[in-house]
């Protein structure tokens, strides 16, 4: 954001700062605390809050536990305020949620799909279109593969090659009520988005250099610097799962040989016990292997630890966080992971090794990262001005709330 030079620009700048602070603290800090955090005058903060409330962006509630005197107010999301729709597209199913400013999430739909681009994305696009309203300021989509800046995704083990995600979602069609512009649809890699969420709301918050690894059917990883996952020149950087880090020599569907992701994840668990694997099938069987085969779990943990050591040697992170099945490997076979990781570290790394721990957000990281990508685009002077011009004036335009699950992080 450029520096404010006029009173109007300063006001717009402070509106964004205040909303960002409310969002980042999960709407838990009082107006007085936010005023101090942002170094605002009390009168300025009062004017900003009043204006944001008038624009249906903030709503204040008394702080819980307040006993005497004037009630302490906590700014939070307005009941008619902006919503981000967030989707996590895994290899065998997708999950769609509506997210408020501050991070409160309402799960709208969870559906299996057949593993094809059309079966996964066209069905998701129809579901998203059914939940669009004037309150929706954008859609964020997390996918289990490298995503280029133009929204093209490759998921090698599903056979996806240069799949045009925005086109298949079809959200800009004139036939879609409240359709979204191209700049309101954010598409990203699930690991990178999970890392973004950990940097905003989890174990990587305040960490200058961190490494995040997400394990599902195979493995993804990304380096996080100053709270931002490093995407690379075209958006597909840090494909750590396709580096020869696990000690194997199997061919990978990506075209390389010996990819780390061949040795760690649900596919590797299934292969270890002789079950069929591939194509995004077998999640339930992999969970059973995880719970019953100590040998398979320890083999995966050792391969995970070997690759972690190589990346620590290369990048010198302060913290390594694990999500998805990575957290399960750490919990169930952390000793085997460290037995593999420790000797592979350089001596200078072993003297002060980084912390290795499960992420704070579990399987929800990618979904929450997709939410963050939408609010990052919205929380700008331009995004707030567009909201003022188009905001709803009644409560009818709200995503369908039947059969939903609420949780807050």
11: CATH: 1.10.10.10
CATH number of the domain to which 182 belongs:
3.30.420.40
Q: Which of 61, 77, 93 is the last residue of a domain?
A: 77
303 and 377 belong to one structural domain:
no
88 and 65 belong to one structural domain:
no
263 and 324 belong to one structural domain:
yes
| 198 is a domain residue | no
346-373 pLDDT, tens digit each: 999 999 999 999 999 999 999 999 999 9
Helix, strand, coil percentages, rounded to 5, for the chain: 40, 20, 35
| 320 is a domain residue | yes
| 1 is a domain residue | no
Q: How far is CA 88 from CA 71, 330, 357, in A?
A: 40, 23, 23
Q: How confident is the model at residue 396 (pLDDT cuts 50, 70, 90)?
A: very low
Element holding 152 (H helix, E strand): strand 152-155
335 and 209 belong to one structural domain:
yes
Helices marked H in 147-252 — which ranges? 165-169, 190-201
Q: What stretches of 199-350 adopt beta strand conformation (E)?
A: 209-215, 219-225, 228-229, 319-324
Owning domain of residue 180: 83-192+367-408
Q: How confident is the model at residue 174 (pLDDT cuts 50, 70, 90)?
A: low
Tokens representing residue 53 in the block = 């409330």
291-329 pLDDT, tens digit each: 999 999 999 999 999 999 999 999 999 999 999 999 999
Which residue is it, tokens 């002077």?
381
**Coil, helix or strand at residue 141:** strand
Residue range 251-275: mean pLDDT, rounded: 95
User: Which comes out higher in pLDDT, residue 321 or 156?
Assistant: 321
126 and 52 belong to one structural domain:
no
pLDDT at 6: 87
Q: How confident is the model at residue 406 (pLDDT cuts 50, 70, 90)?
A: very low
Percent of the chain at pLDDT exceeding 90:
82
Cα 314 to Cα 406: distance, rounded to the nearest angstrom = 40
**Coil, helix or strand at residue 203:** coil
Q: Which of 34, 61, 77 is the last residue of a domain?
A: 77
pLDDT at 393: 59
Contact 253, 280 (CB under 8 A): no
| 163 is a domain residue | yes
Helices (H) and strands (E) in the chain, counts: 14, 15
pTM for the complete prediction?
Answer: 0.91
207 and 154 belong to one structural domain:
no
Residues contacting residue 68 through CB under 8 Å, at least 6 positions apart: none
For residue 44, count other CB atoms closer than 10 A to its CB.
15
93 and 186 belong to one structural domain:
yes
26 and 90 belong to one structural domain:
no
Residue 96 has pLDDT above 60, yes or no: yes
Which among 104, 105, 111, 137 is positioned nearest to 125, based on CA atoms?
111
Q: Which of 21, 45, 77 is the last residue of a domain?
A: 77
Cα 170 to Cα 161: distance, rounded to the nearest angstrom = 19
| 92 is a domain residue | yes
Percent of the chain at pLDDT exceeding 70:
92
| 34 is a domain residue | yes
Residue range 119-125: mean pLDDT, rounded: 96
Q: How confident is the model at residue 394 (pLDDT cuts 50, 70, 90)?
A: very low
Cα 253 to Cα 236: distance, rounded to the nearest angstrom = 17
Backbone φ, ψ for residue 281 (5° rounding): -110, 150
| 301 is a domain residue | yes
pLDDT at 402: 38
Mean pLDDT of the chain: 91
336 and 211 belong to one structural domain:
yes
Cα 320 to Cα 359: distance, rounded to the nearest angstrom = 9
Tokens representing residue 184 in the block = 């309101």
Cα 180 to Cα 187: distance, rounded to the nearest angstrom = 14
> 26-40, 114-128, 238-252: which range is least confident on average?
238-252
73 and 170 belong to one structural domain:
no
pLDDT at 171: 87
Cα 130 to Cα 257: distance, rounded to the nearest angstrom = 43
Residue 62 has pLDDT above 60, yes or no: yes
Cα 229 to Cα 284: distance, rounded to the nearest angstrom = 30
155 and 236 belong to one structural domain:
no
| Number of domains comprising the chain | 3
93 and 69 belong to one structural domain:
no
| 373 is a domain residue | yes
Q: How confident is the model at residue 204 (pLDDT cuts 50, 70, 90)?
A: very high
pLDDT at 64: 79
Starting at the edge strand found earlier in the chain, the sheet holding 319-324 runs: 228-229, 219-225, 209-215, 319-324, 355-358
Residue 70 has pLDDT above 70, yes or no: no
């Amino acid at each position: 954001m450029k520096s404010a030079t006029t009173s109007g620009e300063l006001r717009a700048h402070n509106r964004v700062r205040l909303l960002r602070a409310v969002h980042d603290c999960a709407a838990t800090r009082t107006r007085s605390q936010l005023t101090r955090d942002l170094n605002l005058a009390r009168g300025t903060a009062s004017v900003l809050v009043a204006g944001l409330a008038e624009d249906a962006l903030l709503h204040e509630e008394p702080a819980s536990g307040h006993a005497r005197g004037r009630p302490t107010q906590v700014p939070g999301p307005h009941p008619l305020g902006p919503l981000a729709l967030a989707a996590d597209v895994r290899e065998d199913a997708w999950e769609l949620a509506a997210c408020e400013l501050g991070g409160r999430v309402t799960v709208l739909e969870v559906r299996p799909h057949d593993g094809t681009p059309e079966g996964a994305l066209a069905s998701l696009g129809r579901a998203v279109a059914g939940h669009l309203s004037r309150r929706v300021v954008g859609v964020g989509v997390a996918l289990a593969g490298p995503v280029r800046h133009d929204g093209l995704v490759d998921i090698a083990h599903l056979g996806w090659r240069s799949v045009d995600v925005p086109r298949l979602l079809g959200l800009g069609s004139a036939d879609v009520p409240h359709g979204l512009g191209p700049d309101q649809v954010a598409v990203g890699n699930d690991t990178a988005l999970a890392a973004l969420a950990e940097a905003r709301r989890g174990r990587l918050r305040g960490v200058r250099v961190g490494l995040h690894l997400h394990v599902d059917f195979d493995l993804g990883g990304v380096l996080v610097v100053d709270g931002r996952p490093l995407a690379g020149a075209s958006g597909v950087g840090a494909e750590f799962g396709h580096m020869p880090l696990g000690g194997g020599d199997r061919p990978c569907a990506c075209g390389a040989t010996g990819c780390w992701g061949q040795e760690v994840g649900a596919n590797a668990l299934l292969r270890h016990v002789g079950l069929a694997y591939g194509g995004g099938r077998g999640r339930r069987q992999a969970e059973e292997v995880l719970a019953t085969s100590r040998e398979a779990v320890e083999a995966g943990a050792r391969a995970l630890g070997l690759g972690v050591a190589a990346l620590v040697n290369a990048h010198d992170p302060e913290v390594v966080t694990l999500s998805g099945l990575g957290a399960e490997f750490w919990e169930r076979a952390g000793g085997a992971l460290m037995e593999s990781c420790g000797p592979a570290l350089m001596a200078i790394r072993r003297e002060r090794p980084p912390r290795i721990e499960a992420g704070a957000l579990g399987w929800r990281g990618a979904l929450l990262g997709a939410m963050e990508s939408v609010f990052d685009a919205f929380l700008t002077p331009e995004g707030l001005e567009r909201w003022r011009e188009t905001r709803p004036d009644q409560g009818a335009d709200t995503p369908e709330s039947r059969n939903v699950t609420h949780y807050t992080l």
